[in-house]
Amino acid sequence: MNKKIDNNVNKIQEEILSLKKSILNLTFQKFSGQLEKTSEIKKSKKQIARLKTKLSNLNGEKSA
């Protein structure tokens, strides 16, 4: 079971990193005037928050 949690943690961390890179690219597009859907930045930030919450819950289960 411990390995399953570790796999989930690694996947979540990779997804968070990917979303952060996405936000960076979206921000550059926004300031250069190329981004039409500015709401994508907000959606990505919310998704990161959800994943971080899930990550902290998994870490809580791991230590308990």
Domain ranges of the chain: 2-63
Task: Give the pLDDT score at 16.
Answer: 97
pLDDT band at 64 (very low <50, low <70, confident <90, very high): low
Structure tokens at 35: 């981004």
Task: Give the pLDDT score at 50.
Answer: 97
Taking 80 as the threshold, does the pLDDT of residue 62 lie above it? Answer: no
Non-local (6+) Cβ contacts of 40 within 8 A are: 26
Task: Give the pLDDT score at 1.
Answer: 55
Express each pLDDT in 25-48 by its tens digit. 999 999 999 999 999 999 999 999
User: In Å, how far are 33, 56, 59 from 24, measured between CA atoms?
Assistant: 14, 24, 27
* 62/40 Cα distance (integer angstroms): 33
Say what the alpha-carbon torsion angle 61, 6, 54, 11 is, to the nearest 10 degrees: -170
pTM reported for the whole predicted model: 0.85
